[in-house]
Structure 1
């Protein structure tokens, strides 16, 4: 995953990021404010040893040695946390605890090069911390005097007396919240990246652009694409789907190279079945015819013909019979809606499609149609079924890849793109199909499909001459 992919994932999954950020910060803040405040008191003590047999006194913390060879000062941290001293503190202060529990709340520190001892105590009661520190100093002096022997006088000079703390030492609210915010940002970004990595489906334009670097020419909504055998361009001409199809037909001219052979041949395919390539093909044919262009729509998906079914037409005679020389073009090609919108359906065929579609007869058919019609739209099989689209595009034409939102899978889409690149076949544009109306990204202000009732649609259908009986001629 590249940096651009990471940035795209962060931008795409912003809702997940907000939720994760709020959860992390909320947990940290809740834990911080719910925690019992802990206060810390401390004191600094200067230890001195005076020899009873000499009038001279010295601060010999590092020179006065104990039986084991260690200076007494180096033993202070251990002495402060010893059971004997802790039990004496508990007994004298009347604490309801044990030496083991108290040990975690007291500590001492010293430096071998300095006779100064630092003693600390923590407790939820600030006044209690001062009492504990004072008692620790008292018990420590008693213990050290006993260990030093009768010849050494031990004295403790207070450098810094313990003061009752006014501010809790724990929890550190500001530090914890800062850590929570930073952790929330990091976890939110990681969550977005992980969500993107484990999200196998294609859910929006950004998913398509992550895999396919070619432009997305249109986002066709899921609803009202084909209704009762009639494309949305005819039944809902002012609807969202119709306008997106018109956008598609316009954008095709922008992505078609001027030196491309057969610029008027449009090859439509998809990664998997059920991504709506046929509905895009029939609507695109109707949109071109709406502009007064002559169009031939060819159903080249001979394994699973769907154009005739989508338009409510007869598929008994069509492409296979025409290529076999059994019928003439006049018999195989059927008019639809307008006289210059014609459809060449396909019959279901068990013969391998490569033999049919790769034949010289098929190539001649496309060449002749490209010369006669303004546009020739070839609806081919999905790429996971057969690479017929690559066979057609190799000879020229504009290759469109239809990607069904919520149907297409990123892995399969990557494999298809890889196959096209391997065959040096250029995808000219992508159509994101079956887009949720709420996520279509267009304002509904100018769309009037909800006001086009069934009656007006029926009148338009009748007036246009579209009927099942006519299509069966």
Structure 2
């Protein structure tokens, strides 16, 4: 996953990010504000040991004291010993155990001097001060016992404990800052994981992250498109019809002028049921609506559906024409307008590669490209066969149909990889079956109410249901 993919995932799954961010910050804030405040008191004492000397030496030099870091290094453990802790509990009347008190007190000795730092924490700041003072007393007693009768240990308080005015825990500002940072990180990770787990294609962002080619149109998922007849015929003012017109206009924009057979449009999809035949039919009708002569060829001989979708004769067609069994006049059928012609295909058991890759097929496309303004070729899905790549190798514009909610990212990546391997350029993408809620345009702009009369419904019922591929 590249940086651009990560940024796209963050932008796409913003709802997930907000939920995760609020959840993390809420948990941290709740934990912080419900935690009982704890106060810490501390003191610094200087531990010195003096040796007992003779009377004569004492008279002349007095008692000598010296720093002894080897002894003070034992004091941190001594502070947490059962003897010191139990004595502290008894003298202060604390309602706790030595194990519980041990977790609330500590001591640290200096490596370079005999200074010992003693700490105590408690929910009551005054109690924390009392515990520190008592710990120092008990520490001196235990230190004297350890030093023996020939030595005297003296504790000089350098810094007396002061009653703390603010709690040492929890640190509200630090905790909230950590919560915000953690929330942002978890939110981004959640978006990335959500994107990685999302196997389907659910929008334009998913398409562009894989195909890297322009999305020419987003055709809505509606019964108008699932009907056999083209949308520009049944409901010319419907949103679907307008989006098809947008598609045909954009096709002319992205088609290179120097492209061989630039008027040949090859339509395919990654997998079946993404609606490529529906798009092919509607593109042909949209061009015909503009007065262009069009030949629509059903080149998916493994699963022909063009004839049934348009209510045409499926007995003869492309295969019979290529085999020389019928003439072009017999195989090609008119539809809607006199200059819109359809060449459907019959179901064929012969390997399609032999048929579609033949010289007869090549000559048919060349002749059609010279005679018609546009030639639309509806080919098999790429996961079934790479017929589209074979046609595009000779020229023409390759149009990839991606069905929202049907297409899988893995299959789409494999198809794009195959096209790149064969050096076949995808000129444009059609996002099909887009949810009406995500179409991004207001229904009030379209005048569907004027086209929903009884006659329109009757016509819609009489048409054959289109089988998507």
The TM-score bracket by the shorter chain reads over 0.9
- Report SS of the residue matched to 1:213: coil
Aligned to 1:10: 10
SS of the residue corresponding to residue 185 of structure 2 reads helix
Residue of structure 2 equivalent to 1:24: 24
Question: 2: distance between equivalents of 1:392 and 1:127?
Answer: 88
* Structure 1 match to 2:33: 33
Partners of 2:226 and 2:3 in 1: how far apart? 43
Is the CA contact (8 Å cut-off) linking 1:225 and 1:279 kept in structure 2? Answer: no
> Aligned ranges for residues 105-144 of structure 1 at < 5 Å?
105-144=104-143
Contact 1:130–1:163 at 8 Å: present in 2 too? yes
Moved more, 230-239 or 441-450: 441-450
In 2: Cα distance, 1:366 partner to 1:36 partner: 82
Count of aligned pairs: 458
**Partner Cα distance (2:382, 2:172) in 1:** 59
Matched, 1:60 2:66: yes
Matches within 5 A, 1:10-409: 10-53=10-53, 54=58, 55-62=61-68, 71-226=70-225, 228-409=227-408
Once the 2 structures are TM-superposed, how far is the Cα of residue 31 of structure 1 from its aligned partner? 1.5
Distance in 1 (CA, whole Å) between partners of 2:449 and 2:67 is 94
How far, CA to CA, are the matches of 1:461 and 1:414 in structure 2?
37
Alignment partners' CA distance in 2, 1:303 and 1:112: 86
Q: How many Å apart are 1:459 and its aligned residue?
A: 9.1
Q: CA deviation at 1:338?
A: 1.4
Shift of 1:402: 0.5
SS in 2 for 1:114: coil
CA contact (8 A) 2:299 2:377 kept: yes
Structure 2, unpaired ranges of 5+: 465-469
The range that moved more, 320-329 or 368-377, is 320-329
Q: How far apart are residue 148 of structure 1 and its match?
A: 2.9
What SS is found at the alignment partner of 1:292? coil
- Aligned partner of residue 428 in structure 1, secondary structure: strand
The whole-number CA distance in structure 2 between the counterparts of 1:400 and 1:450 is 33
Distance 1:153 1:180 in 2: 52
CA–CA separation in structure 2 for the residues paired with 1:460 and 1:84: 98
Q: Report the 3-state secondary structure (helix = DSSP H, G, I; strand = E; otherwise coil) of the residue aligned with 1:289.
A: helix
CA distance in 1: counterparts of 2:463 and 2:126, whole angstroms: 95
Q: Aligned-pair distance for 1:347?
A: 1.1
**What is the alpha-carbon distance in structure 2 between the residues aligned to residue 329 and residue 467 of structure 1?**
26
- SS of the aligned residue for 1:226 comes to helix
Q: Distance in 2 between matches of 1:227 and 1:420?
A: 29
Distance 1:78 1:410 in 2: 62
Contact 2:333–2:342 (8 Å) recurs in 1: yes
**Alpha-carbon contact 1:234-1:461 (below 8 Å) kept:** no
**Offset at residue 46 of structure 1 (A):** 2.5
Instruction: Note the C-alpha offset of 1:115.
Output: 2.7
1:67 maps to none
Cα distance change, pair 467–35 in 1 and its aligned pair in 2 (3 A): closer
Distance in structure 1 (CA, Å) of the matches to 2:80 and 2:225:
83
Query: Could you tell me whether the CA contact under 8 Å between 2:307 and 2:314 is conserved in 1?
Result: yes
Q: Distance in 2 between matches of 1:143 and 1:258?
A: 97
Distance in 1, matches of 2:432 and 2:181, equals 39
SS at match of 2:430: strand
| In 2: Cα distance, 1:183 partner to 1:126 partner | 31
Structure 1: gaps spanning 5 or more residues:
63-69, 469-473
Q: CA deviation at 1:151?
A: 4.2
Q: Distance in 1 between matches of 2:203 and 2:33?
A: 41
Q: Does the CA contact (< 8 Å) of 1:49 and 1:57 recur in 2?
A: no
User: How far apart are 1:448 and its partner, in Å?
Assistant: 2.9
Superimposed CA distance per residue, residues 404-442 of structure 1 (whole angstroms, 9 cap, x where no aligned partner): 111111111111112112222111111111111111233
Q: Say what the alpha-carbon RMSD is for the aligned residues.
A: 2.1
For the Cα contact (< 8 Å) 2:227–2:460, is it kept in 1? Answer: no
Q: Residue in 1 aligned with 2:467?
A: none
Q: Is the 8 A contact 1:267 1:393 kept in 2?
A: yes
**Equivalent residue, structure 2, for 1:65:** none
Normalised to the residue count of structure 2, the TM-score between the two structures is 0.92
1:277 CA displacement = 0.1
Give the drift of 1:73: 1.9
Counterpart Cα distance in 1 of 2:246 and 2:373:
18
